[in-house]
Amino acid sequence: MKKEKDEMTKKGVSRRSILKGAVVMGAAAMGGGLALNMATPGTAEAMVKKLPSKWDETWDVVVVGSGFAGLAAAAEAAGGGAKVLILEKMPTYGGNSIINGGEYNSWDDELHLREKLNLGNDSVELHKSDTLKGGDFYGFPDLVDVFVQGATPALNWMIDEGGCKLRNILNRTGGHTAYRTHTNVEGVGRGYTDPLKKIAEGRGAKIRLNTKLTWIWRKDADPKSPIEGVEVLAGSKTKNIKVTKALIMASGGFSRDKKMLREFNPGILDEYNCTNHPGATGETIRMAQAICADSLQLAFIQLYPYAAPDTGILDAPAVYPFRGPGYGIVYVNKLGKRFVNEMERRDVVAMAQIKTKMKPTYSIFCEAMIPKMGTKEEVEKGIAKGRFVKADTIGELAGKLGIPAKDLEETINNHNKYMAEGKDPEFGRQFTKVMIPLTQGPFYAIAQWPAVHHTMGGIRINKNAQVIDIWGNVIPRLYAAGEVTGGVHGANRLGGNATPDAIAFGRVAGINAAKEKS
């Protein structure tokens, strides 16, 4: 720290001049983090970027990003009476949210599906403890509280006000100890983004596409210094927008940002595929750092174990292996052998796959499981696309996959026996009474392989969704929600938790933003 200070004094930039000057640049470097140079590197000017002398537009609340978090935030801010603008850099709305698997964890819902389907017990507390354990206890309990408590009301809100429709199924997915993973009728994130958009726009929020946040305006790093506005690039035009109440960062993760992935976690290899939309780059995290926002846990990056092996795409078929464990789906390698406990978390399954050193691995399921995981129509479409493989017997299925038939038959027979006996001596799988043995065909398989999927780290927030600076103070008028934040999911996010996290925190951010005094 002293050395850094001496260097800065040599360049004629004292801590005082940074704090009292214009917008702080590279302040995170002083906190042991990162330096940003937007002007000529190595000069005093590189440390400052002057506040605009005039504003092109004024809005009460500006939201960056039109995924789950941004739409929920905009809906609530507009509901609180604020004039709300959503900035979206892409030509279409929805980010990763609109293309995600449509999975939503909630201990309950207004249809009381778990009770109706007789799938055992659950509670907010159980959801919370599974989430904390699933993230190796790196998640902050007060943040986890907000989303597990907010999950059910948010789901009912989307049903009641947005017209969201749920499938009559509920899954127990990797790392969860209860059947709490809901799926919408569309079987994809759009089944939630469309209802959220309807609520947000119905309350008057405006979405502006092709408009990219390029800078956050804050006068200085004084704890009392609020966010003043944003600089955006719309086409080739730069504009400055004044924000009178609050700025809400809902700009998603950085799974498509190879440079950031490499910088924070060299174990995420360049050759890995990615499930995300192309806009999942991390420039807004850098902008937040540049105005002294704290960031945390950026090395925690999740691989989705069941992506399409060649492309990394997470299409409708790629969600079946995720939904299947609670109903008895079996994962095998190219030799027809199981390699992991199918009830395990995503990080465990993904690493076990990589360790097989045999791409791809397969999920095996049978006809009777289809209505528990999805729809016959979806499976037929997947077969037509070559994503699912169907056969009358396990031996025939093995032949189609190029797996030795007798080995796959032995594996499936053994697994059926373990299920009947309620004990898996090989991998310690937990069995439940609703699981289905693989005895009756037709049988199905889908190839799967890990791809970069979710970045658990990000901007530091408190339970009010306020952004915290590198010294531990709230940055006035700055909120964040969703994948852009860190500290909720810890080292590993349990599947189906991202959507309730983004929506619950988006709502908190929006409600609080609207309450800010202009």
Give the interface with ligand ADP as residue ranges (CB under 6 A): 64-70, 87-90, 95-97, 212-213, 250-252, 279-280, 283-284, 482-484, 502
Strands 227-234 and 211-218: antiparallel
Q: Which residues pair with 105 in a beta bridge?
A: 181
d(CA 26, CA 28): 5
Q: In whole angstroms, how close is the CB of 282 to ligand ADP at the nearest point?
A: 8
| Single-letter amino acid, residue 98 | I
For the chain, the C-alpha Rg in angstroms (whole number) is 24
Q: In whole angstroms, how close is the CB of 82 to ligand ADP at the nearest point?
A: 19
CB 282 within 8 A of CB 262: no
Q: Which residue has the tokens 């199905």?
A: 444
- Output 239 or 381, the one with its CB closest to ligand ADP: 239
Q: In whole angstroms, how close is the CB of 510 to ligand ADP at the nearest point?
A: 12
- Output 64 or 403, the one with its CB closest to ligand ADP: 64
* Residue 58: other Cβ atoms inside 10 A: 14
Q: In whole angstroms, how close is the CB of 65 to ligand ADP at the nearest point?
A: 3
CB 95 within 8 A of CB 252: yes
- Output 116 or 206, the one with its CB closest to ligand ADP: 206
Q: In whole angstroms, how close is the CB of 369 to ligand ADP at the nearest point?
A: 29
Q: In whole angstroms, how close is the CB of 70 to ligand ADP at the nearest point?
A: 6
Strands in 143-202 per DSSP E: 181-183
- Output 211 or 411, the one with its CB closest to ligand ADP: 211
d(CA 489, CA 143): 9
d(CA 126, CA 149): 11
* Sign of the CA dihedral with 333 first, then 335, 340, and 341 last: positive
Q: Which residue has the tokens 């900035």?
A: 87
Q: In whole angstroms, how close is the CB of 345 to ligand ADP at the nearest point?
A: 20
SS3 328: coil
Catalytic site positions: 346
Q: Extract the tokens encoding 182.
A: 């809901």
CB 83 within 8 A of CB 475: no
- Output 349 or 502, the one with its CB closest to ligand ADP: 502
d(CA 379, CA 377): 5
- Output 181 or 411, the one with its CB closest to ligand ADP: 181
d(CA 481, CA 488): 10
Q: In whole angstroms, how close is the CB of 144 to ligand ADP at the nearest point?
A: 16
Q: How far, in whole angstroms, is CA 145 from its chain's centroid?
A: 17
- Output 93 or 179, the one with its CB closest to ligand ADP: 93
- Output 66 or 512, the one with its CB closest to ligand ADP: 66
CA separation, residue 352 to residues 209, 414, 449 (Å)? 40, 20, 11
CB 33 within 8 A of CB 286: no
- Output 97 or 411, the one with its CB closest to ligand ADP: 97
Q: Which of 152, 153, 164 is nearest to 190 (CA)?
A: 164
Q: Which residues pair with 270 in a beta bridge?
A: none
Q: In whole angstroms, how close is the CB of 370 to ligand ADP at the nearest point?
A: 28
CB 365 within 8 A of CB 342: no
d(CA 488, CA 134): 11
Contacts of 234 (CB under 8 A, 6+ apart): 208, 210, 211, 212
SS3 450: strand
CB 193 within 8 A of CB 108: no
Q: What is the DSSP letter of 208?
A: E
Q: In whole angstroms, how close is the CB of 333 to ligand ADP at the nearest point?
A: 32
- Output 192 or 331, the one with its CB closest to ligand ADP: 192
| Single-letter amino acid, residue 432 | T
d(CA 118, CA 190): 28
